[in-house]
Amino acid sequence: MSESTASASSLTLRPEFRGKALRGTVIELRNAKANGAIERPAEEFLDITYPSIDLLRMVEALQPDQTKTVVLKGGRGQGKSHMMATAYHLLSNHAAAEKWRDHWAGQLNNSAFAKFTFRQGFLVLAEAMHNQSYKYLWDLLWEQHPRGQFVKGKWTARSTNVPSNEDILELVNHTPLVLILDEFQTWFDGLTNTKQYPHRNWAFNFIQTLSEVASAHPDKLALVLSVRDGSTEAYQQVHRVEPVVIDFAGPLVKRDRRRLLLYRIFENRFNIPDSDIAASIEVHFRESCRIRQVPPTETEKGHADFIEAWPFSTKLLQLLDD
């Protein structure tokens, strides 16, 4: 998180992008090499995380005094997994979270952000549901929650199809929980029903249970989910408890997504003054306007867009967005 000024000629890639094999910027929560986003040290991951508008909305919604489930809604490649990994680290490592907050509150001159606090004493579980690591959603809780096996035994003895509100309450009364479920819609939409095993119906009912407990006991259970759109039955069930929905759309969000990408790739992109960038792109921008016959009334906005996108072209970043 260096704050020193740099020149356009000293733009520096982060170490992970300097190897012979080109790496993508797609975030995986976990992977086979055990170096997924939530498996990395908190400070290291937060160091590549720019506080976009959407991310700040999520952090605000996860404040200790808030009572809402958080749903991230948007297509692939828009940063949902990065935000979920950020939530995991902010809620798992208090010292790293405060360091990141204090740094960016100063950088952005954001006094409201400086006052944000982070939940403590919560077990934070994050899972990429499309990996199909668990046959049933409740298996994640039985395996990873310290009270899981005990509650599983009580539930199994009752022989009901789905754990009850009381089961979940016993878990979170023992150890409060933040449950982060990435690719939630992908997982749910892949479930099927048969006469003997109506997996989709069971999942639907359990999602209702989790939503109700989180709504009634926000000091014990918080939910963070990602979906592609609002069409899935699972999302409609969560929507009944009036979640905070962070929708990846709009001009400000697109601008912030660019900034998040540039900060993710380069160590010092935001330490380079706009005046230095403007000088380096002057000929390119002037010729681009001439060839595209850009009206003089639109050149100022176009110039700002070119500076914002540097060292990439605005067209390239638009293609990535599309």
Residue 71 in 3-state DSSP? strand
Give the pLDDT of residue 6: 61
pLDDT at 226 over 60: yes
Give the pLDDT of residue 175: 96
| Mean pLDDT, the chain, integer | 86
Give the pLDDT of residue 319: 76
Q: Identify the residue with better confidence: 296 or 102.
A: 102
Give the model's confidence band at 151: pLDDT under 50 very low, under 70 low, under 90 confident, else very high.
very high
Q: Looking up tokens 């759309």, which residue turns up? A: 249
Please state the rounded mean pLDDT for residues 118-132. 89
Give the pLDDT of residue 169: 97
Percent of the residues in the chain that have a pLDDT greater than 70, as a whole number: 93
Residue 51 in 3-state DSSP? coil
pLDDT at 22 over 60: no
pLDDT tens readout for residues 289-316 = 898 888 888 888 888 889 888 998 888 8
Contact criterion met (CB below 8 Å) for 127 and 182: yes
pLDDT at 3 over 60: no
Of the listed ranges 169-173, 275-279, 315-319, the least confidently predicted one is 315-319
Please state the rounded mean pLDDT for residues 267-293. 88
CA distance 108 to 255: 15
Spatial strand order in the sheet of 221-227: 123-128, 177-182, 221-227, 70-73, 244-247
Please state the rounded mean pLDDT for residues 137-153. 96
Give the model's confidence band at 198: pLDDT under 50 very low, under 70 low, under 90 confident, else very high.
very high
Q: Which amino acid belongs to residue 306?
A: F
pLDDT tens readout for residues 228-247 = 877 777 778 788 778 888 88
Give the model's confidence band at 26: pLDDT under 50 very low, under 70 low, under 90 confident, else very high.
low
Q: Identify the residue with better confidence: 144 or 33.
A: 144
pTM: 0.82
CA atoms within 13 A on the CB side of 32: 0
CA distance 154 to 152: 6
Q: Identify the residue with better confidence: 210 or 260.
A: 210
Give the model's confidence band at 77: pLDDT under 50 very low, under 70 low, under 90 confident, else very high.
low
The candidate with the shortest Cα–Cα distance to 170, out of 207, 213, 139, 212, is 213
Beta strands per DSSP E along the chain:
70-73, 123-128, 177-182, 221-227, 244-247
Give the model's confidence band at 2: pLDDT under 50 very low, under 70 low, under 90 confident, else very high.
very low
